[in-house]
Structure 1
């Protein structure tokens, strides 16, 4: 729900006699996602008009509006989600037609240069639009400039999902150019509803794909038709579901990109009782740990026929089937199409049933126990070895006794994992009480206190500590964290010992109980930013991803577990280029580059009071250093920042909040 109010603005009196361009400049301040910002005015006949005003991520408004003669009673609406916002008007003035022309050109040109040719086409921002309709080009750029989260799904569909008549001809030409196309068998299940059956068959008939390459098998119609794969690729479709017209075009395109793929899945959305599309499920790229937590793929998966005749009959069977396929194929044989391939009736979605899943899987990995968890997910408890590896918990600090004490006491008294050593890296503490406490914990808890008498360099401090550590595993832990769950370290160790896992991160909370960290997005937000930050602890987040263990691109070093030898082999944190910020993200990306996985688990829980002892960057020197680190990250990981495998390119890259993108980074095969 939006909190909003109309703010009256004083128009120059000249509008009573002639029309013209109005320049409005201002700033919007809010701590919550904002709603639309609108300008409203009344004309002589008493008719009201409105125009949406785009506002940048920094809260800056600088827009031009053409007002007719006689415009009066000007109002501005600023709104936000769940909290009041403040809007300050800095300038409100008439400008000439020449200045308006110059300002619009100056707005459009940089955006035109920045966008790829594909994004220009999808937005309709052609080069000749500057000359034929500059105002339309200006309005299109305003949609990208506007930082408002895009929640109106029907508007997104109209702009980015509907196939126009001209596009169908382009698809036909594209398919004609391709030498070979895959044959597909569509298996229709749960066919008790004739109306639902007709809807599904109608969507199949409307596919932009050669009909001789598509076979439809209705399971349960006659015994001879049951479990009879008749195509190279198999896809189970519940009656009532509708396929996107280009669904099989996407399959053929994906196979040209990844010809060795054995299993391909796509995105889907839901249909309400009236057939209206809603609740898009924009999925990450292949994510085994997330699939173990929930059937995030749903019905929208296709597999290459390998001699088996197994056809899942419900979503629960699909979950088990996907897990079996994942155990049979290499990661390189699994592909994700970031496009809406299926529209699914809400009734076809079923809650995950961990007991049914356990019955379906012939064998879980040795020692794994699967159980139910909140929000209908499956929790996989990974086993710990009989001889537990030693974990060195590394805690850098400088003074900050209040938080340091809470951190040390919680680790020492609440952590059940028995084989740990605590290493405190004291970076020039000079507070008498803090120094006394450091002496005390050495005797009380056997904490190793190592003096680091050099200027603050987070990377160097941790690197030195890891070299001194005696554990096989090292846990980087901020001094402003506090243990919530006694089994936090058991949970993290159980994941990091899984084959191929290099790093594990935890679920961190603000002091008020809201989520502070649920893993890091890399790319969305500009460089790196936390997922689900500010979400209430009892909320599941986007597609339940705030409560599911999953693989991500990075996690914060406020609580990060890794293998000591891996850390040393990769050179640890970058103390030259990233002495303070982004060093954890950079390390995780290098771990991923080395072929290891980064896992985040919601079942390791701690408070994080965030940068209490060091504080925020404020001085010119600190701000300059922060900019250097940001520039380094953008240069070092330029390609990686363009796409986060854990974050769908149809979602906003302005911020990792899972809102819809104003300019999806998805290239349509027939428009490339």
Structure 2
């Protein structure tokens, strides 16, 4: 049997190698020097690991302290032990073991034995050498607890085959996956079973962190969003702790050896495809042990993990009937999925404009000159320009390009109404709402967005927008900041990974900005276009939430890059009447969407309070 470090290299070691670059920051070098001055070389390795694995760019305190303050208390565990669920399923936890270090093996088993929810069984398939100390430990536990069952394997069937042997032992209604040297919080199963009280729930997953040698400190928390299909197609963000109904496993089949190296990833796809409802528990309940062996592996020797992950995504896409291409990214363990464009649909690019012809001209020419996708038209909605040169420019640009049409909006300014008017006067089956102060960067930007927008499960697609200095202006919107919404990663460098690499990969958010928003015409009609009560602000977030209310996804595309010279057209909304109007529109938004503001953005995580900024935990 391969070690866990090999089987999951693309997650363990990929992130580790990326984080090694943190050591070369001036602040990190200074910290190491100061540490050596104070402590000489005592535990220097631990200090280096902490520098690498602290989310210093997203968490405001050292995570180990945060975890200690938020883990379950003894009093809470006692209350959980007394609680009687109406649905009391047995949870069968599958663990393939192989020469596991005795200390880690005991900690893993004890963490299951210490659960506040008692109806579980631990199903272990052991492929250890017959004289290995681990077998003696397993026999000890089997003799002392009937809920622990072990099958001693006579051969190595591979990681999938060995896990299937553990699955054969399972008699529970729920199946959970646990690695042989990891451990879990004592309230894990209680929290999981609580979610399964809803009979429609078929899959549950939790947040997790890592524990780091040599002193096993908690680091690198993965605070996950609720189910995000585009994030899952970018990397296995779900990982642990994954629980699924046994009936789903029976339907989709067991672990597949052709996906060894990312067999869990493959199973997660197959199970979530069939699930009626998928629940996420935003609590750190699983701890992934990072040993020296797992962090020192040679990336080139683990390419099979990448390839297995690629196959898992490709097979998933085939099953759901989506034609796409999957590429392994330079970011270890991350994937870039591009979707085949069926036919040659026309994109109607709707651009409101008032004067500012230099901005408009740059925007138009960047698309005309760079875009590899060619079937598009421009609908320029002229609204209350006053400069003579503007109208002269319109005549010139319409003569130069036969796919540009200027239409006139002669009423008062209303961003929503202007765009709705533009849509009424276009004939594309796909719409791109675009600000005049944008500029296309990547030639494939339209194709990237179009392939996603044509998916029937998608409502709208946003892009990665950069300021002129190549820092991020937009990379997704989270609802809740300031009682309304806010852009995430604003001001980060274009090459910054962002929290859990989400700045560099496709994923889902609750909203994207209409400065560059692609949507199908049928979706626009379905939700009634932009709500004209939102004259300047809130209209794009409202539109995205309307599509989500109709069961459609909102996607951030990290590979469609544009410059956005923000607020050049109309100035800032931070002063006087503009500020008052903005506050009034936010109040209308709050009245229309109270639930998400009360319950929290499902594609964010409640462990990040809105008072601290994007992807930051609260201060101590």
When normalised by structure 1's length, the TM-score is 0.72
| C-alpha separation in 2, matches of 1:594 and 1:359 | 31
Deviations for 1:67-90, whole angstroms, at most 9, x for unmatched residues? xxxxxxxxxxxxxx99xxxxxxxx
Give the direction of change, closer, same or farther, for the CA distance of 1:301–1:314 in structure 2 (3 Å limit). farther
Structure 1 residues 518 and 363, CA gap change in structure 2 (3 angstroms): closer
In the alignment, the residues of structure 2 paired with residue 569 and residue 305 of structure 1 have an alpha-carbon distance, to the nearest angstrom, of 38
Q: CA deviation at 1:315?
A: 6.1
Deviation at 1:285, TM superposition (A): 0.3
Residue aligning to 2:187: 246
Secondary structure at 1:657 match in 2? coil
- Name the SS of the counterpart of 1:262 in structure 2: strand
Contact 1:233–1:304 (CA under 8 A) maintained in structure 2: yes
Tell whether the 8 Å contact from 1:191 to 1:197 is kept in structure 2 after alignment: no
Equivalent residue for 1:267, pick from 177, 186, 207: 207
- The corresponding residue for 1:606 is 562
Separation in 1, partners of 2:613, 2:438: 24
| Correspondence for 2:472 among 476, 496, 515 | 515
What is the Cα deviation at residue 326 of structure 1?
Answer: 2.2
Q: What are the equivalent positions in structure 2 for 1:69-468 lying under 5 Å apart?
A: 150-161=60-71, 163-174=72-83, 177-194=84-101, 195-210=103-118, 213-221=120-128, 222-223=152-153, 226-230=166-170, 231-256=172-197, 258-273=198-213, 274-306=215-247, 307=250, 308-310=253-255, 316-330=262-276, 332=277, 334-347=278-291, 353-360=305-312, 362=315, 364-365=317-318, 366-376=322-332, 377-385=334-342, 387-446=343-402, 447-468=404-425
Q: Note the aligned Cα RMSD (angstroms).
A: 2.3
Q: Which residue of 1 aligns with 2:45?
A: none
After TM superposition, give the deviation of residue 551 of structure 1 in Å.
1.7
Alignment pair present for 1:499 and 2:406: no
Q: Report how far residue 480 of structure 1 moved.
A: 0.5
Q: Provide the C-alpha distance between the structure 1 equivalents of 2:437 and 2:494, rounded to a whole number of angstroms.
A: 19
232-241 or 260-269, which deviates more? 232-241
- CA change 1:374–1:657 in 2 (3 A) is farther
**Residue in 2 that maps onto 1:56:** none
190-199 vs 583-592, which deviates more? 190-199
Instruction: Determine the C-alpha separation between the residues in 2 that align with 1:450 and 1:519.
Output: 30
Offset of residue 401 of structure 1? 2.3
Task: Report the equivalent of 1:76.
Answer: none
The 1-side partners of 2:265 and 2:483 are apart by 35
Residues in 2 aligned to 1:367 and 1:640: alpha-carbon distance in whole angstroms: 33
Classify the secondary structure of the residue corresponding to 1:364: helix
Deviates more, 1:370-379 or 1:285-294: 370-379
Provide the C-alpha distance between the structure 2 equivalents of 1:416 and 1:311, rounded to a whole number of angstroms.
Answer: 39
State the distance in 2 between where 1:291 and 1:276 align: 28
The 5 A counterparts of 1:618-637 are: 618-637=574-593
Residues 507 and 339 from structure 1, CA distance in 2 versus in 1: closer, same or farther, beyond 3 angstroms? Answer: same
Partners of 1:234 and 1:303 within 8 A in 2 = yes
Compare the two structures and name the one with the higher strand fraction.
1
**How far, CA to CA, are the matches of 2:500 and 2:476 in structure 1?**
15
| Alignment check: 8 A CA contact 1:227 1:310 kept | no
Structure 2 spans left out of the alignment, 5+ residues: 1-55, 129-151, 155-164
Is residue 217–residue 228 contact of structure 1 (8 Å, CA) maintained in 2?
no
**What are the residue-to-residue correspondences of 1:571-590 with 2, within 5 Å?**
571-575=528-532, 577-590=533-546
3-state SS of paired residue (2:201): coil
Residues in 2 aligned to 1:267 and 1:441: alpha-carbon distance in whole angstroms:
53
Cα distance in 2 for residues equivalent to 1:453 and 1:513: 36
TM superposition shift of 1:299: 3.1
Further displaced range: 228-237 or 528-537: 228-237
Highest RCO, 1 vs 2 (Cα 8 Å, sep ≥ 6)? 2
Match of 1:550 in 2: 507
State the distance in 1 between where 2:450 and 2:613 align. Answer: 28
8 Å Cα contact 1:371/1:379 also seen in 2: yes
CA distance in 2 between counterparts of 1:531 and 1:618 reads 19
- Residues 656 and 321 (structure 1 numbering): CA distance in 2 closer, same or farther, change over 3 Å? farther
User: Number of paired residues?
Assistant: 509
My pick for the range that moved more, 396-405 or 279-288, is 396-405
Q: Distance in 2 between matches of 1:283 and 1:363?
A: 21
Query: 1:229 and 1:434 mapped to 2: Cα distance?
Result: 75
Q: The residue matched to 2:610 in structure 1 has which SS?
A: coil
Correspondence for 1:638: 594
Give ranges in structure 1 of 5+ residues lacking alignment.
1-80, 83-147, 664-672
Q: Assess, with a 3 A threshold, how the Cα gap between structure 1 residues 160 and 569 changes in structure 2: closer, same or farther.
A: same
Quick one: distance in 1 between partners of 2:608 and 2:262? 27
Greater helix content: 2
Superposed CA deviations along residues 254-313 of structure 1, whole A, max 9, x for unmatched, are: 112x22222111100000002111111010001111101000012321111133443889
Contact 2:450/2:518 (8 A) holds in 1: yes
What's the offset of the Cα at 1:314? Answer: 6.7
SS in 2 for 1:539: coil
Secondary structure in 1 aligned to 2:462? strand
**8 Å CA contact retained: 2:472, 2:490:** yes
User: d(CA) in 2 for partners of 1:243 and 1:191?
Assistant: 19
- 1:632 deviates by 0.6
Q: Distance in 2 between matches of 1:153 and 1:305?
A: 35
**Residues 116 and 190 of structure 2 are in contact (CA less than 8 Å); yes or no, is this contact kept in structure 1?**
yes
Residue 209 of structure 1 deviates from its aligned partner by: 2.2
Maintained 8 Å contact 1:477/1:557: yes
The 8 Å contact of residues 67 and 218 in structure 2, kept in 1 or not, is answered as no
The SS at the match of 1:374 is coil
Deviates more, 1:258-267 or 1:608-617: 258-267
Partner of 1:34: none
Distance 2:290 2:400 in 1: 58
Instruction: Give distance in 2, aligned partners of 1:290 and 1:529.
Output: 20
CA distance in 1, matches of 2:73, 2:266: 38
What is the TM-score when the length of structure 2 is the normalising length? 0.78
Q: Tell me how far apart the structure 2 counterparts of residues 294 and 626 of structure 1 sit (CA, whole Å).
A: 38
Residues 503 and 560 in structure 1, CA contact (< 8 A), matched pair in contact too: yes
